[in-house]
Amino acid sequence: MALQAASLVSPALSVPKEGKSSVCLKDSSLFGISFSDHLKSEFSSSTLRCKVRELNQQIGAIRAQTTATESPAVNKAAPDGKKTLRKGSVVITGASSGLGLATAKALAETGKWHVIMACRDFLKAERAAKSAGIAKENYTVMHLDLASLDSVRQFVDNFRQSGRPLDVLVCNAAVYLPTAKEPTFTAEGFELSVGTNHLGHFLLSRLLLEDLNKSDYPSKRLIIVGSITGNTNTLAGNVPPKANLGDLRGLAGGLNGLNSSSMIDGGEFDGAKAYKDSKVCNMLTMQEFHRRYHEETGITFASLYPGCIATTGLFREHIPLFRLLFPPFQKFITKGYVSEDEAGKRLAQVVSEPSLTKSGVYWSWNKNSASFENQLSQEASDAEKARKVWDLSEKLVGLA
């Protein structure tokens, strides 16, 4: 059924049968349209964005000083004599739009969670929270730019100063740059997609593990959002360019595009592949965390594919025609589409459902929206590769 989709698009785009290699899809010819006309002029807006970010950082630091008082997870002296659980405290990265925002909303609505929205654009996040109708007492916005390791460390300091406990961390933010002809880089000079989606989150979660460990909440969790497109054991994961970390030579060289490739496998830059590779790193990192820390800390480590949320900002850099056709394609052809609301409820389950406490698991949902433990591809479940990615990432983010 899904294969019929191929006939809707240009002959340059041929869909491979599972497990078989195929003609390489050049992103520049997706739907038969040249992307160059659609590339945005980044320059004029970037200076302005820098200034806004500086401002955001300052506001973030001030905000974090509005200290919240820590209370034990179980309040023994509730007025009616019953034991009550305090509000859970969850950090969600990239909660200013899409899945992160929908998850923040779903959790805040229960009245059982305080959501720390860890976002690179303070004002956007505030506006998003307001327009989603999240009540003021249920969220705090704190500045975090995952494309800067200094910002990650600053966020951790600010969070600690806020005095809030950390019960659940959700690594959700991501960038996807399918039309980029040349790589762009994080503050430390890592290719932007892997630098943001993987390395920024790697440092954040490594540092915050200590805080999670201190929490007295009954179920502590670290969740890293994965995706079907990083899993080559699926049809979606076989749409070229396919994820492939190779022998990690580019990662070992620092992904800087100077004395090393900007791609993990050492190949030519390809923005769509870089995103998929970053998702493989996300799923490998979750499992490596599980192997290293689950037994000792009792923390649940999990990943998930929430469904295809074809309407989110993730596709903002894609050509307009893709953005127009992608939602109906996913709704009517692949039937993999989910709304932002539904996807938010799914991730909220992984945050809070007592039935989803199993660690080391990659969750997915079936047609009836029931969760199940899914199989990762061979590469995304390769323990040896996970260990190597962990060791190399430690060096790049300055932990080793």
- Nearest residue by C-beta to ligand NDP? 98
From the list 139, 176, 217, 275, the catalytic residue is 275
237 binds ligand PMR (CB under 6 A): no
Task: Please select the residue that binds ligand PMR; options are 33, 52, 68, 236, rule is CB under 6 A.
Answer: 236
41-49, 153-161, 225-233, 287-295 -> range binding ligand PMR (CB under 6 A): 225-233
Q: From the list ligand NDP, ligand PMR, none, pick the one residue 154 interacts with, judged by a Cβ distance below 5 to 8 Å according to partner type.
A: none
* Subset of residues 206 to 225 that bind ligand NDP, contact rule: CB under 6 A: 225
**How many chain residues touch ligand PMR (CB under 6 A)?**
21
Instruction: Confirm or reject binding of residue 100 to ligand NDP (CB under 6 A).
Output: yes
Residue tagged 């019929």 (tokens)? 4
Does position 57 interact with ligand NDP (CB under 6 A)? The reply is no
Of the candidate residues 25, 73, 147, 348, the single one contacting ligand NDP (CB under 6 A): 147
Q: Between 143 and 182, how does the x/- string for binding to ligand PMR read (CB under 6 A)?
A: ---------------------------------x-x----
Compute φ and ψ for 258, nearest 5 degrees.
-105, -80
Q: Is 139 a catalytic residue?
A: no
- Show contacts with ligand PMR in window 291-310 (CB under 6 A): 308
Question: Which one of ligand PMR, ligand NDP, none is in contact with 9 (Cβ closer than 5 to 8 A by kind)?
Answer: ligand PMR
141 touching ligand NDP, by CB under 6 A: no
Which residues of the chain form contacts with ligand PMR (CB under 6 A)?
A: 2, 5-6, 9, 13, 15, 30, 176, 178, 227-229, 235-236, 239, 272, 275-276, 308, 334, 336
Active site residues: 275
Which residues of the chain form contacts with ligand NDP (CB under 6 A)?
A: 93-94, 96-100, 119-121, 124, 144-147, 172-175, 196, 225, 227, 305-306, 308-310, 312-314
